Amino acid sequence: MHTFLADVGHLWLGNLTSDLRRYVIFAVAVWLTLWVALAAILRGRKIREAVPARRQLITEFLVSVRSIAVFSTVGVGVTFLARAGFYPLARLAEQWGPLWFGFSLVAIIVAHDAYFYWTHRLMHDPRLFRRVHLRHHRSNNPSPFTAYSFDLGEAGLMVAFTALWPLVFPTPWAVTTLFVIHQIFRNTLLHCGYELMPMRKDGRPWLDFLTTTTHHDLHHAQAGYNYAAWFTWWDRWMGTEHPEYLARYAEAAGRPYVTLARPRVVV
């Protein structure tokens, strides 16, 4: 029993350290790069004039650590299930070579986008919103630290995908790790407050099938739109894209990087 508890504790701390390291690296790096080092250069690409208060950033960081603790707990369960042989497809996929590796990486990202869209819409049901998703929307004006600022129920829903997907689709464990890195990188950029996607001549994003910072920022401003995570497909198919999204994007992406106006700091 003592050995088992020690194993659980070791795994949990290892997961916590790894997930926390990724969050800190990406959230702090995006914040330092965009909000500090390049703030003057990128001033024209700031989506909103107001800057979140320091108290919001600290709260988001602490709540994100709590979410990471949830992720780590589920990760321990996944490890024990894998040891017990519940993930035969993952072991099988590791033998299928680099082509399958690349295909399964695309597959997990596309599948997660669908999962996120529908669970996100579900969380906005009035019967669930206050209990499951309110914490994330307390960040009306998001920051890079908002990425994992979840209620406990939302944190559980978010990590559930990484536990369930390898059960039903042959996915090497290394692909799952790359997927987690992808989602925290994109997540921090979607909440970064600066529109970085280059604009085409017709006013649309270069990669119009990808969500932009403006796309997700509009969701925080008006929660009834733009539920998608990585791609714009589901919002367009289901009619939930904000009607002013492309105009708002063009407004932000069309401004010169440096402007004379200084952003207004809210404290």
pLDDT for 266 equals: 41
For residue 7, the model assigns a pLDDT of 74
Q: Domain limits of the chain?
A: 2-253
236-264 burial, b at 16+ Cβ within 10 Å, e below that, comes to eeeebbbeebbebbbebbeeeeeeeeeee
Q: Residue for token digits 């129920």?
A: 153
- Write down the pLDDT at residue 11: 83
Question: What is residue 263's predicted lDDT score, i.e. its pLDDT?
Answer: 47
Please name every residue paired with 265 in a beta bridge, in sequence order, or none if there are none.
Answer: 51
Give the residues of the chain that fall short of pLDDT 50: 260-267
Quick one: 153 exposed, middle or buried, by C-beta within 10 A (0-12, 13-18, 19+)? middle
